[in-house]
Structure 1
């Protein structure tokens, strides 16, 4: 019976996580437990276990006597997270350049070809999905479970805001160029070059998000 309960709360957590990332549950939204239980046809116990999981992941915040709310990623959060993830994913690129086989590089090349096609067609959602797959592939090639674990936790937080940066003027083309620079270094087995290119890519993502935030602020003021 306990195994069934564990499985159920994992499924509930996965459903709510998908709704958060998909924008169904927007940043700052209150999680109405009664409404969620009715909608998902579950009891309070698995829901509350799921809420604990999502709170631990940083996707929800819990306020005593008020309940759970979808986390809001602040500019300070982004300023603090991006330098860390740039270091971590940079190290992944360094290790991936040492470990990648010819077959691995061929698979990465196919992903980059797909990325370029999405960029040319300005299919931002498809571009982001392929971009995510490339980052995941490089993390896997690094073959360092500790790096993968920490990056995975941070990426869940960044996913709440990261896609916005592709809407900054010129960012889509710049992002593609950065990805191609990382891949060129990987293909050349240049560990230091791959690390530097990946750090540049992540740091420029932060710059693009800052530009988007400033644009949004300017619109509100005007």
Structure 2
């Protein structure tokens, strides 16, 4: 019976994760337990167990007497997370360079060809997909389950922020160049070079996101100024 309850609350946690990442439960949204119980045809117990799991992952926060809310990722959160994930993924690249077989490198080469093709044609969704597959392949090549687990946890928080760093001007070409540098180091079995190239890649992602945030603030300020001048929304 315990196994059934466990598997049920794991399933519920995954359904809620999917809703959060799809934007159906948006950042800051109140988690309506009654509605979710009806929607998922479950009792309160597995739902509350699932919410505890998501709270431990940082996707949900519980406020006494108010209930549960979807977490919001702030610029400060991103400033704190990116240096950590850069170190962790850099270490993965280091270990991957030492562990990689010729077959691993050949598979990675195919993924980089997909990445190049997507960049050349400006297919950003395909680029994101190939980019994700490359990061996952490097983590798998490293073969360190502890690194993989911590990176996975941090990635969930970053996914919550719905980041679109490739929308920053020039970022697509820059990102591709960074990936090719990481791949060249892995192919040469240069562990320290792979580590440094991966850390540079993640650090520049954060810089691109800062650039987008500044542009967004400038646009909002311009609209606000225009509104003040005209007295009507623009």
Shorter-chain TM-score tier: over 0.9
Q: Trace 1:23-62 onto structure 2 (pairs within 5 A).
A: 23-62=23-62
In the other structure, the counterpart of 1:190 is 190
Separation (CA, whole Å) in 2 of partners of 1:162 and 1:208: 14
In the other structure, the counterpart of 2:87 is 87
Pairwise CA distance, 1:69:
1.1
Q: Deviations over 1:137-191 (max 9, x none)?
A: 1111111122112111111111123631111111122111111110011001111
- The answer to whether the aligner puts 1:69 opposite 2:69 as a matched pair is yes
Q: Deviations over 1:6-61 (max 9, x none)?
A: 11111111111112112222111111111111111111111111111001000111
What root-mean-square deviation, in Å, do the aligned CA atoms of Structure 1 and Structure 2 show? 1.2
In the other structure, the counterpart of 2:226 is none
- In structure 2, the CA distance between the partners of 1:162 and 1:142, relative to structure 1 (3 Å rule), is farther
In the other structure, the counterpart of 1:210 is 210
Q: Size of the alignment, in residue pairs? A: 222
Separation (CA, whole Å) in 1 of partners of 2:181 and 2:158: 22
- The answer to whether the aligner puts 1:156 opposite 2:160 as a matched pair is no
Separation (CA, whole Å) in 2 of partners of 1:39 and 1:122: 39
In the other structure, the counterpart of 1:139 is 139
Q: Deviations over 1:80-138 (max 9, x none)?
A: 11111111111110110111000000111111111122222322222212211111111
1:165–1:208 contact (8 Å) kept in structure 2: yes
Q: TM-score, normalised by structure 2?
A: 0.91
What secondary structure, in the 3-state scheme, does the structure 2 residue paired with 1:163 have? coil
In the other structure, the counterpart of 1:175 is 175
Q: Is 24-33 or 112-121 further displaced after alignment?
A: 112-121
Q: Is 120-129 or 1-10 further displaced after alignment?
A: 120-129
Separation (CA, whole Å) in 1 of partners of 2:212 and 2:62: 28
1:115–1:130 contact (8 Å) kept in structure 2: yes
Separation (CA, whole Å) in 2 of partners of 1:162 and 1:188: 34
Pairwise CA distance, 1:208:
0.8
Rg bigger for which structure?
Answer: 2
